[in-house]
Structure 1
């Protein structure tokens, strides 16, 4: 008697075919099934749900790039691997095609929201040929806002040349750039150290008859990045040059009839203070007051940090008290910390102790390093120690803050064997 051979098992579907079904199962909030039988309560897809699924792909597969320590150096590699980027691009295109052709129970035409989410996901995945093919094939649906998001994403990924290419293709895609698109591209170029191209775009915007005239935000972006890179460079001559360019843009802004706001003043004052040009910073501060622009805590913190660094802590305290007296803001932990550190370095431990107590009583939690610095300085100097209740309150607050940070930004721990 011959034994009957077992029935052949049905071929398993390929992973590329299961990917759209998995996303649809997530959208329907039910268990994954390769046959994808329709749910009785499911009434079809909406453009919003398809766009939400496409936006989740780069968020799950492509971690954001780490922040650069020096903007003049080349952009670091992203935390995502090339395999993850290829998977994210393939998944985006597969799900977009599937949702357009096989949506159940009714076919959903492609709209602007899914196309915008797919373009942003491809930009995050650095799939540039697929990105531009997608935009060309759906030209009527491409909007200026979608291309602005693509330019911003390419700039954050460290691809300024491709951000420029996307900007220059706007006419081919029948879109007209607006001021926000220009500002986004200028910020992306400055973020990657391409100041020459950014200044060229500004010159184009300033030409008579230009389609988009620069606004206050355009100049503020350039001033902010000039000051930020000038502070970060190690060469004093290069730093002075950057700050000079920032001041030149600040003056040109006034010549164009644009009034700087408090953010513009803060960027310039912070850059001047950090490059030890405090006399010019005082002039800008006086001009700020004369024009009726009220300073805030960020403005005063720049002077407090400067005088704390140059060991003129009495002037730093004077600026802090003046801020509170004029009603321009309240002292925070970023205001108290440089003053306390400067007092400890100067050997004025008793005053540092009083400022730490004042900081804690005003509801601001000190950093762990600041707390330990004051506590060790008190023990070395033989001053009156902090009360046990205050120490317990500060230590509990530091532990709670660490727990909150760990929930938001978990770090890798070594595996215990």
Structure 2
């Protein structure tokens, strides 16, 4: 039986809301957003360091350029400036100049290290005009370059004689370009003009150093003195050295080497020796190169006894000991003048100091002794040569064999047997190379022995 309905007399029944069976949780726009796919992740092409190593490892610059183009199109955020620097240098060194300059234009401010390497590369491939073009583009795109980069450009231009006028014009207009030249800038061009023989231009550059408010350094004086010595104006170079010393500069070792060599070649040996003695007083200790230069000069002019005086003064006055070159020059010089006993004394002194002479030193002395008939002395020199482990030359054996054959055959046989029995010497010298005299002598000895044996039987 159904329950009775409730009634409210004189009023309408209240409307009781029914519970909702479906209630949407989101709006249409929100629902649409919830079903949209997330953006795709960026492609994975490796890290920035990996890309840089990959570009640097390619031997083919065009392949490295393709790798850079692909990486820049996919992930430009991973590219470093160093990767572009490496690519530009690869293209320039492979003579892809247009591609290298095209990438260089993309750089708002190229680093000085990159430009310095480019200047060197363009100079090495004989294209200094490209170095000058890159420098002008740098002036238009950024602040004026530093003096070091400016000097690098001058060096690249000065390497080629055809670019020297452009380098000189660039140096003269440095102030208008906002570049402050240094003494090094003038030295670079002075050296280049001295090398091509234009000493007047080098002199004008030297004087211009004072005009722009700079001071020349030791290299400035040395470059100018080297140019004067090349022109055989050694007297003017000595005057410039005196001016340098009066202004308080201390010449370096290379400056003195240039002057000593020039004085010796001009046969001014007395002046060269005086300059060598004054070096230590003037603040530069002479080294073995300076002494050997003077020794060569004396021996070249046939004055080996004066060279002996230089060698004797070395240890007691300057504390510098002779080396292999010093003794070799002196022994050759003494031997050429017939002073074989003195030469032999210096040879023994040389070996007593633990120095092993070249075989030519022994050969010169052996040749001299054999030439004057002193075969015993020549044999003693040969024995000393073998004790030092130096293999005699074939001509040396010819001299000894020819000298001994004229005096004592028994002595020759003992010398030959000594060479044959010693394995080390036998490897260095073949018996068949000892000369025709030795071959003839050995044949006669063998024939005599066979004849004696036949008689005994």
Same-fold call, TM > 0.5?
yes
> 1:152 — aligned with what?
155
User: In the alignment, does 2:63 pair up with 1:95?
Assistant: no
> 1:277 — aligned with what?
268
Query: In the aligned structure 2, how far is the partner of 1:124 from the partner of 1:31?
Result: 19
Compute the displacement of 1:137 (Å).
Answer: 0.7
Change (3 A) 1:26 1:335: farther
Of the structure 1 ranges 164-173 and 175-184, higher mean CA displacement relative to structure 2 is found in 164-173
Compute the displacement of 1:319 (Å).
Answer: 0.8
In the alignment of these two chains, the number of paired residues is: 324
> 2:397 — aligned with what?
none
> 2:188 — aligned with what?
184
> 2:37 — aligned with what?
none
> 1:111 — aligned with what?
111
> 2:220 — aligned with what?
218
Change (3 A) 1:165 1:369: farther
> 1:29 — aligned with what?
57
- Greater percentage in helix: 2
- What's the secondary structure of 1:311's corresponding residue? coil
- Contact between 1:48 and 1:113, CA under 8 Å: does it hold in 2? no
Query: In the aligned structure 2, how far is the partner of 1:393 from the partner of 1:166?
Result: 60
> 1:387 — aligned with what?
385
Structure 1 residues not aligned, in runs of 5+: 1-23, 59-86, 102-106, 231-238, 397-417
Change (3 A) 1:175 1:99: closer
Q: 1:330 aligns with which of 309, 321, 331?
A: 321
> 1:54 — aligned with what?
89
Query: In the aligned structure 2, how far is the partner of 1:285 from the partner of 1:112?
Result: 44
Q: 2:298 aligns with which of 307, 313, 328?
A: 307
Q: 1:248 aligns with which of 239, 251, 270?
A: 239
> 1:268 — aligned with what?
259
Listed one character per residue, the Cα deviations across residues 267-295 of structure 1 (whole Å, up to 9, x for unaligned) are 32332222122333344344434445432
Query: In the aligned structure 2, how far is the partner of 1:182 from the partner of 1:322?
Result: 40
Query: In the aligned structure 2, how far is the partner of 1:312 from the partner of 1:138?
Result: 61
Query: In the aligned structure 2, how far is the partner of 1:283 from the partner of 1:29?
Result: 58
Change (3 A) 1:118 1:275: same
Compute the displacement of 1:195 (Å).
Answer: 0.6
> 1:78 — aligned with what?
none
User: In the alignment, does 2:132 pair up with 1:137?
Assistant: no
Change (3 A) 1:372 1:118: farther
Compute the displacement of 1:217 (Å).
Answer: 2.2
Listed one character per residue, the Cα deviations across residues 193-231 of structure 1 (whole Å, up to 9, x for unaligned) are 111001011122234xx321112221122113322x14x
Alignment RMSD: 3.8
Calculate the TM-score normalised by the size of structure 1.
0.65
User: In the alignment, does 2:159 pair up with 1:171?
Assistant: no
Change (3 A) 1:47 1:364: farther
Compute the displacement of 1:114 (Å).
Answer: 1.0
Of the structure 1 ranges 156-165 and 361-370, higher mean CA displacement relative to structure 2 is found in 361-370
Calculate the TM-score normalised by the size of structure 2.
0.60
Structure 2 residues not aligned, in runs of 5+: 1-51, 394-423, 425-457
> 1:126 — aligned with what?
126
- Contact between 1:297 and 1:329, CA under 8 Å: does it hold in 2? yes
User: In the alignment, does 2:201 pair up with 1:197?
Assistant: yes
Query: In the aligned structure 2, how far is the partner of 1:268 from the partner of 1:48?
Result: 49
- Contact between 2:359 and 2:390, CA under 8 Å: does it hold in 1? no
Change (3 A) 1:114 1:219: same
Of the structure 1 ranges 153-162 and 111-120, higher mean CA displacement relative to structure 2 is found in 153-162
Listed one character per residue, the Cα deviations across residues 328-381 of structure 1 (whole Å, up to 9, x for unaligned) are 422123322321221221233454455445546646565665565455546655
Change (3 A) 1:331 1:286: closer
Query: In the aligned structure 2, how far is the partner of 1:264 from the partner of 1:334?
Result: 21
- Contact between 1:123 and 1:150, CA under 8 Å: does it hold in 2? no
Larger of the two Rg values belongs to structure: 2
Change (3 A) 1:169 1:204: closer
Listed one character per residue, the Cα deviations across residues 64-95 of structure 1 (whole Å, up to 9, x for unaligned) are xxxxxxxxxxxxxxxxxxxxxxx73xx24523
- What's the secondary structure of 2:279's corresponding residue? helix
Change (3 A) 1:25 1:390: same
